[in-house]
Structure 1
Amino acid sequence: MTTEAVEKDREGGRRYAVPALEKGLDVVELLARTPESLSMSAVATALDRTVSELFRVMQCLESRAYIERDPESDRYRLSMMLFNLAHTRPPTKALVSAATPIMDRIATSTMQSCHLCVMDELKIMVVAQVNSPSPMHYSVRLGAQFPTWETSSGVVLLAYQPEAAQRSLLDRIMAVQSDVPREELEARCAAIRASGCEVRTSAIVSGVTNITYPIFDHQGRIVAVLTTPFLPQVHLDVPIEEASALMAAGVREISSALGHRPD
């Protein structure tokens, strides 16, 4: 191994350089954060590399189904491969498996959609989603991601983090946004811990009230949240208070299936 093959990572430790793998990861990360599909030349420009450097890497990613190419436009986008792989992990698979039938029941009982979210760095990700049986409803797309501080799901996940982890997350959130004051997030977290949930008017969608409850594992750690974006309708027979009670019962059942035993 030559000295050129060893680099310093961000924390000052040693790591071995794998140029082809790093190019592939650069491509995947670029496509993950880019809403529209990109041509190979656009990918090369964005990564400050040449097309010839990336040609074989992108062919490999395409052959392994990590990226998809539109045969008409010759543009690339990220496939669902990484999302599907994440769902084969035992913790996520067990969570979704336990939650899905209960989410189906909640949606039917409340006539509202609901979705299951987990934390992913400073974002939340929707890992399961059930539509309302009502012909008119609001729902969130499976796989959608949102900044933690912009959603009830994210703030409830933040509220139940261990104290040191919560402080660290708040430090990182404040470093990347200035719209929501730290004091406001801290106050919301305290209120959530006191009440056990958050019922709050959506900051993103007018007319929707988010009902969000935490889900815990066998160690008492928060692993996910369940949210119903409650959309009132003229002929809706289930009031928001009843929907919230049905949600509370449902998350207790999901947590129990994951081994949680409340004190």
Structure 2
Amino acid sequence: MSHQPQQCPNFREHFALIYIDRKGNLRHEVSASIFDSAQSILSPQVTEAFLKAVAEPRTNSFPEPPDSQLEPFTASLASNVPRTPEKRAIQREIRRARTEEQGWNAGTAISPTPAQIHVTAQLPVNQRDLLRRYYEKVFQNLQQANCRVISKIYIRLAEPRRQAQYPYNGRKSVEGKMQQFNPEETKPPWWPLGVTHREPDHLPKSERFALLIHILCELRISHGITARKLKNAERLVQHQITPNERLQLLDELYWVREEEEKFLDAVTGRLHI
């Protein structure tokens, strides 16, 4: 009696997957609950073992479920991140191997490095707290020097006349006379609670993250701040982001936030433009 593999539902609370999609691309997916451990779980050694296994001649094949079976309102992280030359080379090798009846020869197997592994996590865009943790993780991985640059351009977009109307040092002209106020009294009304009103360069890391996430997520209705506008503004300082690969993290963050905005607009009946 032949033993048929058990077909699993598309989503579990905790999962880690390695698969080859219809286009022959090597893909890794993990649940959001284990996203931080993805690189260690889906290691190069595990990936190499998988590639060797799928290269063996197969007598049975099982169709992939149609896209319509996927759970709605999910954002797959890293789906729009540009592919590196190394990754494209791996994908070409996989496609070539799949067209050969006998699979790969032993000498053609590739062991990807951690930087070459493509990891995605399914994020339900209706889970606000989970998305906020993801945004914070992205900003943490950007490094603080980059976050300082980005926070300034975010603030400039949210408050173009901040320097005159809401000075960090509290010195403000009132009826033609310069007066000294407590800096907390000259912060803009939208400034997040728990974040000191001072130059972003001098904020603690936790407060800087809170400020970035607040502008990203909480000023859409009051100030018209969207992921698309932030992305366009960020282009002005892209040359200051180092290393350049960090821009991929930002691109992914904006894409996820746009998916969340679409969901929010669908809930409230707003037109997403």
Q: TM-score range by the shorter chain?
A: under 0.3
More strand by proportion, 1 or 2? 1
Larger RCO of the pair (alpha carbons < 8 Å, separation 6+): 2
